[in-house]
Chains A and B, each alone.
Chain A
């Protein structure tokens, strides 16, 4: 009898606690659409919403996509110019809406020297980040009071303004002769997602992931790295999840050649951070409910549902890769070569030239971007010679130029793939 009473009491307690918990949140939890995966991720909460979400394909790159085309920083690194590649006309132009402008001086709307590293240099280091979010472009800059800011630029480049102060740094020089010490400047990693700017100040001894509401002033700490030789990087947002990676070389030796780190996820709804894939410190991507990652010259896939892992491609040419619905695109920066594999790991095609070196600029289902230069490029005083028309690779090699390469992936899949080099700047060797 006593046992029965206890059972009834326990049951009643369970029912009451269930009722209370439902009444507390006021939310009905649908079990139909929720599929919690082997990594503890809710797949239905990972869907991309165009107006509020970061584009995972182009975060951490010099390229960003809008519904009309792609914005990218000029590849030379010497001129902080923003370019636009128009999907409709297939032309690349400086982001300046003034036909009366020759795009050769800092008055041009496409140049951003004034908001980066005022007083000295061209602030080219900030050109590692650009993001199209909610109809506007966002870039990083630093003002003369040493505040590192997010700047908002209209989609046609006609206006710009400071949007959010991320943090205050101290670039004062310790040497008497200089007023500022820009050697301490390292561009932060930034990702704007669902109304917040997530950022990592790369200058800190122990890096931290923080977030701030766009236009807000209060910063929240999300994650602090552990080791003293660590990094927090490669943020990619998928719905309610913000993925990022850490690596720590504190204990890295030849005997123990394995840096600590992995892929972490920050859950926007709960505010919790947890490790989802240990030891993965190089490129990763999420598509088709799968996590693809690079590890030790191989590309692996891992099911988000079952956590089952598969080796996809062995001995790949480079560490940068992208995924679309059908293919895996792997890029080798040493030879600017792009290799295309199907999802079973079979090589479909390859395009590139060993005379070029380049950096991966991002890829979606239509285009892939690289920035690069010819191998013999002479760095010196740069002229501002630009072209908006495609030039051939031979011309490029002959002229010693930096370039932005764009490849149309549909052409590549047909076997006609070739790079189109739209923007370049010719270097002149300093006397």
Chain B
């Protein structure tokens, strides 16, 4: 993990508010893995203050380059959008834990919603190299908001596009397309989908997870959360995860059996009636994540 002044080699305006930024930064690119992110300082001054975490879209380690596909949504990304080739951008990275590829995976489905497509390109490149048969489903509210389709298709994988308003591809939600695929593979191909990867808005991830679990399909999701430090120090960017059996570092998880005065040194005499939730703890999206296993995440209603 390093801090570096990356050189902008290319900065394209794609459709709508989407931008594609290509950086030459070998000291980070060489170590980057699909699913990781960089923490970007968008302006030179103290206002806006914080860095913006942006997932890595494409990694070209031998050229020492990485690309970021991002959306202009606020003052930080607006400032970033104004930078030109030849300018430098102060970035930290590569940060976080990326996607994994268990060796028994032969057939995968990758589901992206809106800007959630961004971290999935380098993942699919890895799957293709590993000869994993991959189907990609990319969706958005409308054709204008659908992004990342062409580079995926260029990899030679099947890409199913879905828009809620039907302007491009199948009309409806990605979950409907996913359900169709799961059913089709089960019935027609008589071969199982081994693994699911997904990134997108929380309601989409929640629905995709529910569907995957229904079909006993393991997999991983990539999350985002407002971030402070980006390196695991400030504990701002946490996500609710299911309780594990052991005490987790820095999660505040407490085993039920460790409550109460008989648990020895450390028992507080006015133990705050904190809802030491018996079914979840908090893990940092910048450090344990941004990639989490499907079954791990507790989705709020």
Bound together = no
